Structure 1
């Protein structure tokens, strides 16, 4: 009788240990699932920030529109052909506004934010922490540790290799969002002045 009682006690202890182990495993699984779900939401939110900046950069011209005596797309000098010799509008690099340059090199973000950005290269080395709207207002709902950065590199439009030219007609643009140095989302695009020239000609008609 005593022996049976001892076995029952041992069985009870083992059963409790098994139940406790199963409970820990279940809680661990729930915690991992919650972390995975939170991470997925975080990445989706970060990608939204990236796409927002990409759309903004895509909406500004590669360079400021001026008048020049060359073809806007092919760069061919205009000669007398019996047609109008008035020079079409072409895209030339806009001088970076001194206020914009101070934003790029400075450590503070002004109240007007990116409202004075007039061309793609104005966004070069732009960093904001936390993310902000174009008018400089902080975006609600984003952690203070989140950092949105833009890099802009002039490239050759034909082979897409980097160029040190002060008058590039194409740019490689990368936008990324990080948190504590951890990359959450990024996207790269190539901007050329071709579309700017087309839209400019459409507006002149």
Structure 2
């Protein structure tokens, strides 16, 4: 059974493709500026944020973080959310919280993913870093990274728990949720993160 690894990053979240007018702090990762290939005179729009302070994401929309040097360190994309997961590990269990959902995620890190900006010099999207909020706005107190969630799929299909410097990875993250309608939040921070709407029609589903 895989173990949930929670990481403690310090820094600001970045919406890839957007730039920040605030200079990065000297001791923390910062919002990254990414040049656009399209020529335009209009200023880039600010990332949309929820009332919880998280960056709002849609399926297929990139996210990322940069190091204090200004170099992009992490890019990741949630490509698909499946609410009808079929376990295939051969020793799967019923979900403890009610339902399984899986997220297909692509991740790419660069040489800028190093300490001290990123403790352990790795990035993780494991189930222990996710939170579920119901459509009524109530935060689920339980653990989404249950033993049942970790034992659902074959290891060859799941995203690695830790992704190191200058690596690419693609795979599934299974979450054990109480409902297939609500909001999923991924965060390494106490007060901010990224969030996706769960439920309704999903692109590429």
Which bracket does the TM-score occupy, shorter chain normalised? under 0.3
Larger RCO: Structure 1 or Structure 2 (Cα < 8 Å, ≥ 6 residues apart)?
2
**Which is richer in helix?**
1
Taking structure 2 as the reference length, what is the TM-score of the superposition?
0.23
Larger Rg: 1
Taking structure 1 as the reference length, what is the TM-score of the superposition?
0.23
